[in-house]
Amino acid sequence: MPDTITLQVTRYRPDADGPPTLQEYVVPLREEWAVLDGLNYIKDQLDGTLSFRWSCRMGICGSCGMTVNGDPALTCGTFLTDYAPGPVRVEPLANFPVIRDLVVEIDDFMRKLPEVKPWLVREDGEALDDVEFLQTPAEMDEYKQYSMCINCMLCYAACPVYGLEPDFLGPAAIALAQRYNLDSRDQGAHQRLDVLATAEGIWACTYVGECTTACPKGVDPAGAIQRYKLTAATRTLRSFLMPWRAR
Amino acid sequence: MAKRSSSEAVAWLLFSAGGVVSALLAPILLLLFGVIFPLGVLAPPEHAHMEAVLRHPLTQVVLLGLCVLSLLHWAHRFRYALHEGLQLKRLRAPINLLCYGGAIAGSLWAAVVVFG
Ligand code: SF4
Ligand code: FES
Domains belonging to chain A, first-starting first, are 4-104 (3.10.20.30), 107-245 (1.10.1060.10)
pLDDT tops 70 at residue A126: no
pLDDT of residue A154: 98
Percentage above 70 pLDDT, chain B: 98
The model's pLDDT over B41-97, given as tens digits with 9 standing for 90+, comes to 888 888 889 889 888 999 999 999 999 999 999 999 999 889 888 888 788 889 989
Q: Which atom of ligand 2 is nearest to the CA of A150?
A: 3
Taking 70 as the threshold, does the pLDDT of residue B112 lie above it? yes
CB A11 less than 6 A from any atom of ligand 2? no
pLDDT bin (cut points 50, 70, 90) of residue A44 is very high
Is residue B109 situated within a structural domain? yes
- Of residues A237 and A94, more confidence is placed in A94
Report d(CA A62, CA A53) in Å as an integer.
10
DSSP string, B27-56: HHHHIIIIIITTTTSSPPPPHHHHHHHHHS
- Tell whether the model's pLDDT for residue B110 goes beyond 60: yes
In this model, does residue A128 exceed pLDDT 70?
Answer: no
- Of the CA atoms within 13 Å of residue A221, those in its CB half-sphere come to 34
Decide if B63 contacts B114 (C-beta within 8 A): yes
pLDDT band at A25 (very low <50, low <70, confident <90, very high): very high
pLDDT of residue A52: 97
* pLDDT at residue A245 is higher than 80: no
Domain that holds residue B77: 11-115
Shortest alpha-carbon distance between residue B33 and chain A (Å)? 33
C-alpha of residue A152 to centroid of ligand 2, in Å = 9
Q: What pTM did the predictor assign?
A: 0.88
| pLDDT of the residue at B88 | 82
Mean pLDDT of chain B: 89
Q: Is residue B2 part of a domain?
A: no
CA distance B62 to chain A (A): 22
- Nearest Cα neighbor of A75 from A38, A123, A27 is A38
- Least Cα distance to A35 among A94, A99, A84, A98 occurs for A84
Per-residue pLDDT tens for A179-229?
A: 999 999 999 999 999 999 998 999 999 999 999 999 999 999 999 999 999
Let me know if residue B5 belongs to a domain.
Answer: no
In a domain, B57, yes or no: yes
Question: Is it true that the peptide bond before A166 is cis, omega within 30 degrees of 0?
Answer: no
pLDDT (tens digit, 9 = 90+) per residue, A94-112?
Answer: 999 999 999 999 999 999 9
Q: Which residues are paired to A25 by β-bridges?
A: A7
- What is the average pLDDT across B11-17? 92
Confidence band for A246, pLDDT divided at 50, 70 and 90 = low
Q: Are A172 and A156 in contact (CB under 8 A)?
A: yes
Burial status of residue A241 (CB atoms within 10 A of its CB: 0-12, 13-18, 19 or more): exposed
Q: How far is it, in rounded angstroms, from Cα B61 to Cα B69?
A: 12
* Cross-strand partners of A198: B4
Structurally, chain B folds into a number of domains equal to 1
- DSSP class per residue in A200-221: TTGGG-----HHHHH-TT---H
Is residue B4 situated within a structural domain? no
Q: B23 in a domain, yes or no? A: yes
| Residue ranges of chain B whose CB lies within 8 Å of a chain A CB | 1-6, 8-10, 12-13, 16, 80, 84, 87
Segment B20-26 mean pLDDT: 92
B29 domain residue, yes or no: yes
Contacts 24+ apart (CB under 8 A), B100-106: B100/B72, B100/B75, B102/B71, B102/B75, B103/B68, B103/B71, B103/B72, B103/B74, B103/B75, B106/B67, B106/B71
Nearest to A174 by CA among A122, A227, A138: A227
Search chain A and give the residue with CA nearest B83: A164
Cα torsion angle, A109, A113, A114, A116, sign: positive
Instruction: Say if B101 falls within a structural domain.
Output: yes
The CATH number given to whatever domain includes residue B69 is 1.20.1300.10
Please say whether the beta carbons of A175 and A146 come within 8 A.
yes
- Residues of A in Cβ contact (< 8 Å) with B80: 206
- Residue to mutate (ligand 1; options A151, A208, A228; most atoms within 8 A of CB): A151
